[in-house]
Chains A and B, each alone.
Chain A
Amino acid sequence: MISIHDLHASYEGDEILHGIDAAFPEGKISVLMGPNGCGKSTTLRSLVRLVPQRSGRIEIDGQSADTYTPRDLARKIAYLPQSRNVPDIAVRSLVMHGRFPYLSYPRRYRPEDHRKVQEALEWVGLSDLADRKMENLSGGQRQKAYLAMALAQDTDVILMDEPTTFLDIRNQFDLLDRAKQLARQGKTVIMILHDFEAILRYADHVILLHDGSVLQEGRAEDVLRSTSIPEAFRVTPVFYQGDDGLHCYVHK
C-alpha cells in the first residue's frame, strides 16, 4: 500500500503541490487526472523521489519512503516517465536494464534475470522482436518495450505518466488492457490519463487534482459526474448507456 500525507513539493522554489493526501489501493488502477499544470506529474514523480519534497510524508507498506535507498525504492516502484529517450540498443537489452536494481557490482546478469526478462517480453508480446533495435520499433512497440522493462523490475507498484500519449487508439486500448491485467495480478497501478472515456472504462479509483490540491477522490463514475469536473476543466461530461456499459463524451 502506498499513501501520501499532506505532501508539499516544489520546483526551483515554486510550490507545486499544496498538501496532497491520497492513498492508492493494491490490485487497482488509480488514475490521477486534472487540467495541465495541476500537479499530476509532480505527484507521480514525488512517489519516486524525483521531486524535492518540502514537507509531508509518503508511506510505502507503512514505512516512510525516505528510509528507502534508491535501489530499495526501485525494487518497490517502477516508473514510466512521459518522455523517454529512444536508446540505440536492442529491445532485450533495454528490458534487461529492468533488472538493474537487483544486481550488485559489477552487475553480471544471473539466470533468474534472463528468465524474468524473457517472461516480461512474452507478457507484452515482444519476444519475437527482442533482438530488434529500439529505434526500429513503432511508438506502440516502444511503449511495450518500456512496459516490459518495468515488469522485469518486478515491483509491487507501477507508475505511468500519460502512457497513452502518442499511441493510436488500438495501442491505447491494448496498453490499458494490460494495465488492467497487472492490477488483477495484485499490482498497484497508478497512471495519469486525460481521456474521460478511458478513465471511466479502466480506472478503479480516481484522484482529481486542481491547482496542486486534491479536488475530488473516489470511483471513476462518481468523480466524473461530480461538479468538480466543470470546475477544474470548464467542460461538461455527458453520459450515455451503451450495450457494453456506461460511456462518456465531453461537451464544451
Chain B
Amino acid sequence: MSSSNRSSTENKTITLIAAAATFMAAAALLNICLGASRISLPQLWEALLSGPGTSAASRILWYVRLPRTAACLLAGAGLAVSGTVIQKVLANNLASPGIIGVNAGAGLAVAICSGFGMYSAWVIAGSAFLGAMIATFVVVIVARKSSASRTTVVLGGVAVTACLNAVTETIIVLIPDAALANVDFRVGGFSAVNHARLVPAAVLILAGIVLVCTLTNELDVLSLGDDTAHSLGLRVNRMRNGFLTLAALLAGATVSFAGILGFVGLIVPHIARRFIGNESGRLLPFCALMGAGFVTICDLAARLIFAPYEVSTGILLNFLGGPFFVWLLLKRKDKHK
C-alpha cells in the first residue's frame, strides 16, 4: 500500500517534470522561431548545423535569438529558484527576490559598476551578487531584530527596495553614459543581452541551481522551524545564511544581464507548488523548468503583442505580477478569517 502510493507519487513527479521540460523546450523553440523576422524549422535546423554563417536566418539565430532565448531561460530558472529558496528560508510565501529588495540591491551594484566604467562581465555579475547579498541580509537582520511578522518583512523589503532604486536612479541621471538609462534595465528585459554578459551569469546561475538542488533535504528541514531543524542536527544559522547567499547569487547573476525583472520569483513558486507540492526535491527542479519557460513565453509575448513595437519583458511581468500579488494578499486574508 505505502510503496505503491510512493511509486504513484514518483510517477506523478516524473510526469510533471517532463511536462515542465516540454513546456520550457516549446517556449524556447517558439522564442527562437517567432519575431519580427520568422525562422522556419528547416532554416533553424540548417543554421544550427552550419554554425554562425552569412545568411540572414543564421545571423538572427546565432547573434540575436539564441542569446536572447538562453538569457530568458537562465533568468527564469534563476529567479524562480531564488524565489523558492527565499520563501522557504523565511517561511514567507509573500517573499521573493523582487519584493524583499534582492533585485534592487543587485541593480544598484550593476548601476555603480556601469557608472564607474567597470564593464567586465565577471565584475558586473560578481558585484550584482554582492549587492543582492547585502540587500538580502539587511532585510533579514532588520526583520530578526524587530521580531517582525511576515508582512513586516515584506514592508521592510519594500522600504529597502525604494531606497536602493532611488540611488540607482540617481546614478542613471547623473551619469547618463552609464548605458543603463534604458527601460530594459529598470524594469528588466532582454533586448540588450549579449554573449559577454551572459557567460559569467550563466556559470553562476547553473552552478547555483545545481548546488541548491543537492541541498533540498536541508532546505526542507530548515523550513520545519529553527528548533526542530536544530534538534535534527542542522546547523541552522549557517544553513540559513548559506541558502540566502545562494538565493542572492541566483538573483544577482540574473540582474547582471536582465536588469531588475520583477515577480518571477513570486509567481512561479506559487504556481509550481499547486502542481507538485512543497517538497524541495520535486519543487526546485520543477520551478527551474517552469520559470525558464514562463519568462521565455513572456519575452515572446512582449515582442509580439504590440509588434512592430516591443515592450520590455519586465513590463509584461509587472502587468501579471501586480494583480497576482494582490490576489495573494486577499487569499491570505481569507485564510486568516
How far does the alpha carbon of A207 sit from the alpha carbon of B148 in the complex, in Å?
36
Q: Interface residues of A toward B: which range?
A: 35 or more
How far does the alpha carbon of A145 sit from the alpha carbon of B227 in the complex, in Å?
17
Residues in A90-123 with C-beta less than 8 Å from chain B: 90, 92-94, 97-98, 100-101, 103, 105-107, 118
Asked, given contacts A101-B232, A130-B2, A130-B5, whether A81 binds B227 with beta carbons under 8 Å apart, the answer is yes
Asked if A79 and B227 sit within 8 Å, CB to CB, the answer is yes
Query: B288 → chain A, closest Cβ, in Å?
Result: 17
Asked, given contacts A50-B230, A70-B234, A131-B9, whether A81 binds B278 with beta carbons under 8 Å apart, the answer is no
Asked if A127 and B225 sit within 8 Å, CB to CB, the answer is no
Q: Does A186 contact B (CB under 8 A)?
A: no
Q: B residues within 8 A CB of A83? A: 225
Q: A residues within 8 A CB of B232? A: 74, 97-98, 100-101, 153
How far does the alpha carbon of A97 sit from the alpha carbon of B292 in the complex, in Å?
30
What does the 1/0 interface line of B181-220 toward A look like (CB < 8 Å)? 0000000000000000000000000000000001101101
Asked if A84 and B230 sit within 8 Å, CB to CB, the answer is no
Q: Does A48 contact B (CB under 8 A)?
A: yes
Asked if A97 and B2 sit within 8 Å, CB to CB, the answer is no
Residues in B219-241 with C-beta less than 8 Å from chain A: 220-221, 223-225, 227-228, 230-235
Asked if B225 and A75 sit within 8 Å, CB to CB, the answer is no
Q: B residues within 8 A CB of A73? A: 233
Q: B residues within 8 A CB of A246? A: none
How far does the alpha carbon of A79 sit from the alpha carbon of B224 in the complex, in Å?
13
How far does the alpha carbon of A68 sit from the alpha carbon of B213 in the complex, in Å?
29
Asked, given contacts A97-B220, A100-B217, A131-B9, whether A74 binds B279 with beta carbons under 8 Å apart, the answer is no
How far does the alpha carbon of A48 sit from the alpha carbon of B234 in the complex, in Å?
12
15 A-B contact pairs sorted by A residue (CB < 8 Å): A45-B227, A50-B231, A70-B233, A75-B233, A79-B228, A84-B227, A87-B223, A89-B220, A106-B214, A106-B215, A107-B218, A127-B2, A130-B5, A131-B2, A131-B9
Residue numbers of B with Cβ under 8 A of A are 2, 5-6, 9, 91, 214-215, 217-218, 220-221, 223-225, 227-228, 230-235, 273, 277-279
